Structure 1
Amino acid sequence: MAADPSIAAEAEAEAFFRAAPPLRDRDHIAASLDDFVARHSAGSGGAGGPAGVVCITSGGTTVPLEQRCVRYIDNFASGQRGAASTEYFLKAGYAVIFIHRRGSKQPYCRFIPEDSFLDLFELGEDSEIQVPQSHSAVVKTSISNYRKAIDEGLLLKLPFTTIFEYLQLLQMVATSMNCLGHHGMFFLAAAVSDFYVPWESMAKHKIQSAVGPLNMQLNQVPKMLFILRKKWAPSAFCVSFKLETDPNILLQKAEMALKKYGMNVVVANELANYKDVVVMVTNSGRMTVRRRSKEEDLEEQLTKLLAKMHAEHASLPKSEDHQTHAN
């Protein structure tokens, strides 16, 4: 009789978390998270409450090569999609938990110049700091929208750098959001490492180049999406992303991820044009979403479609939930 894959996956995940370095400020994060979810759980989808709570992951994870890290392996991701989608989900009435890579793009700050944010300011006649007329409209709008989200308690930001931090945060958020049932959504846009160096076998100090060529064994990161769907938050609406450089395998890999991990939607994007076009893969078929102009964010269309699909998911009777996941 074949072994249950869920049991093996859970065992691998538990072993990963046991060996991972403890998350800094874990108790403070847990308290903030529980308070945020509790405030939005009663009114999710109801009159006067948010449309739901969405956890958005953004940016790339690093894989440290030393415990006192000097060198690491990185994953490409600017965080642009996650930051933009956070803005549009907030606009659609959601409360957002934003799990983001430190230093990546932030919601309402995407317009800041890459070279220096000082380009947004100038000195007036009396040396007072002011925003140039050319930027004043976008800066005022961004500040207003950001303050509204913060003041109304609709945005919780949780930073990470390493694969260890990211997966611990994801587990904490998912188990906390489990109480939301169908009203919870996961928008998993972070670029997550597939391989890592186990903490206990990692060099404690900087690896010395004098020892010659570096030979290092990388382990596979446990497939946490499977566990998120089966155990942590089984009723949530889950959207994952598949990025490839080879267009010939992209949709096939997205279809495989949809079935393997039980996602509601897999968003397939090719590295060469990920800002301009994506394909939403679902059990019902495929839908292509294109950016209609340079002034438009593709994420505006994408989040509208996902919010509509999530609303349909949230209206499902609980009895249909397990059947949905089994597909």
Structure 2
Amino acid sequence: MSSMGEDEEVSSFFESSPPLKKMEDILQKLNGFIEHNSSGGRRRRIVCVTSGGTTVPLEQRCVRYIDNFSSGNRGAASTENFVKAGYAVVFLYRSGTCQPYCRSLPDDPFLECFQFPDNSNIQVHSSHVEAVKMAVMDQQAAVAEARLLKLPFTTIYEYLQMLRLIATALKDVGPCSMFYLAAAVSDFYVPWNSMTEHKIESGSGPLDIRLAQVPKMLSILRTTWAPKAFCISFKLETDAKILIDKATKALGKYKVHAVVANELSTRKEEVVVVSSSGNVVVRRDSDKPESIVEDNLIRLIVDRHSTYIKESHS
């Protein structure tokens, strides 16, 4: 397909998308965050971490939708590591998915961590004190230092409109900006203007839906929205045999700086970072029970980003 064709597909996707709610509010937060981290003596690197899956509504007043599998664990854990490495993070996440600094808390932290010993004062259960203290302190420090901005999305329309806003806002940050695209983005969608407004009737027999292909936004992110940014994309497959081949093809096609290849069943143990300088397997430290893949993955990515910045300046 010619790049003109791709551009037209992308334009028509955005033109037919429902307008983004609270757009002014998002822009104000975003511009303030970028300004704070790149003005004065502060020249922090800024990374946009995308996390969680996108929904594809089947009705405009949505009752039913198609979803993409993603818990948001990778994005949340990576965000913590980027903050630790000195970055400011725009965390673009699916509402309701895993949040940074919550990994050590139980699934239902509000109900499981707190108790009312005397029916008047609420307090943290002794077994969770340390975890709650660390989570609250780390999160508050990141927000107080303006190192973490959390922006939620639900649908494919919201996700791609917000990604475009963030990329365009980061354009002037140049090589010191990074995109770490860990979100699971839908490949197919129902175009908004061909979608029924109200709930699809269930009594009228089988449902045939024709899904259109979501235009690939990676190309346009790389060439137009934020051409100087360092860019990491992800490839998830259930079949290990095709994973590296697909990741290598994506590297060539979209001209990203690296593709993190992960197989569904082993993704918490290891990933393969595919780039033009070869493939590197990154594993969690198996001798440390609390170790996660993201600790070592982000160390490698930060290192690569440093090299990229040096090369851009020389």
**CA distance in structure 2 between the partners assigned to 1:209 and 1:268 by the alignment:** 40
**CA distance in structure 1 between the partners assigned to 2:124 and 2:59 by the alignment:** 43
1:307 corresponds to: 302
Query: Structure 1 segments of 4 or more deviating over 3 A?
Result: none
User: Which of the residues 14, 19, 25 maps onto 2:16?
Assistant: 19
Q: How does 1:25-36 map to 2 (within 5 A)?
A: 25-36=22-33
1:146 Cα deviation from its structure 2 partner: 0.8
SS in 2 for 1:317: helix
**CA distance in structure 2 between the partners assigned to 1:194 and 1:225 by the alignment:** 12
Which letter does structure 2 place at the counterpart of 1:36?
Answer: F
Which letter does structure 2 place at the counterpart of 1:300?
Answer: D
Does the Cα contact within 8 Å between 1:79 and 1:105 map onto a contact in 2?
A: yes
The total of aligned residue pairs comes to: 312
1:318 Cα deviation from its structure 2 partner: 5.7
1:125 Cα deviation from its structure 2 partner: 4.3
Most deviating of 130-139 and 228-237: 130-139
SS in 2 for 1:17: helix
Which letter does structure 1 place at the counterpart of 2:21?
Answer: R
SS in 2 for 1:215: coil
User: Which of the residues 166, 169, 179 maps onto 1:173?
Assistant: 166
**CA distance in structure 2 between the partners assigned to 1:209 and 1:116 by the alignment:** 37
C-alpha distance after superposition, 1:32-62 (max 9, x if no partner) = 111111222236xxx7542x00000000000
Root mean square deviation of aligned Cα? 1.5
C-alpha distance after superposition, 1:149-202 (max 9, x if no partner) = 111111111110000000000000001101011000000000000000000000
Which letter does structure 2 place at the counterpart of 1:128?
Answer: N
1:91 corresponds to: 84
1:324 corresponds to: none
1:108 corresponds to: 101
Does the Cα contact within 8 Å between 1:6 and 1:227 map onto a contact in 2?
A: no
Does the Cα contact within 8 Å between 1:244 and 1:270 map onto a contact in 2?
A: yes
Most deviating of 32-41 and 9-18: 32-41
1:252 Cα deviation from its structure 2 partner: 0.3
TM-score between both structures, scaled by the size of structure 2: 0.96
Q: How does 1:157-306 map to 2 (within 5 A)?
A: 157-293=150-286, 294-306=289-301
1:138 Cα deviation from its structure 2 partner: 1.6
Does the Cα contact within 8 Å between 2:175 and 2:312 map onto a contact in 1?
A: no
SS in 1 for 2:203: helix
1:8 corresponds to: 5
Most deviating of 111-120 and 250-259: 111-120
Does the Cα contact within 8 Å between 2:50 and 2:181 map onto a contact in 1?
A: yes
Does the Cα contact within 8 Å between 2:284 and 2:295 map onto a contact in 1?
A: no
**CA distance in structure 2 between the partners assigned to 1:73 and 1:201 by the alignment:** 16
Which letter does structure 2 place at the counterpart of 1:23?
Answer: L
Identity over aligned pairs, percent:
53
**CA distance in structure 2 between the partners assigned to 1:219 and 1:126 by the alignment:** 55
User: Which of the residues 114, 131, 138 maps onto 2:124?
Assistant: 131
Does the Cα contact within 8 Å between 1:54 and 1:94 map onto a contact in 2?
A: yes
Which letter does structure 2 place at the counterpart of 1:253?
Answer: K
SS in 1 for 2:89: strand
Question: Using a 3 Å threshold, how does the CA distance of structure 1 residues 155 and 115 change in structure 2: closer, same or farther?
Answer: closer
User: Which of the residues 50, 53, 57 maps onto 1:60?
Assistant: 53
Structure 2, gaps ≥5 residues long = none
Structure 1 position 149 matched with structure 2 position 139: no
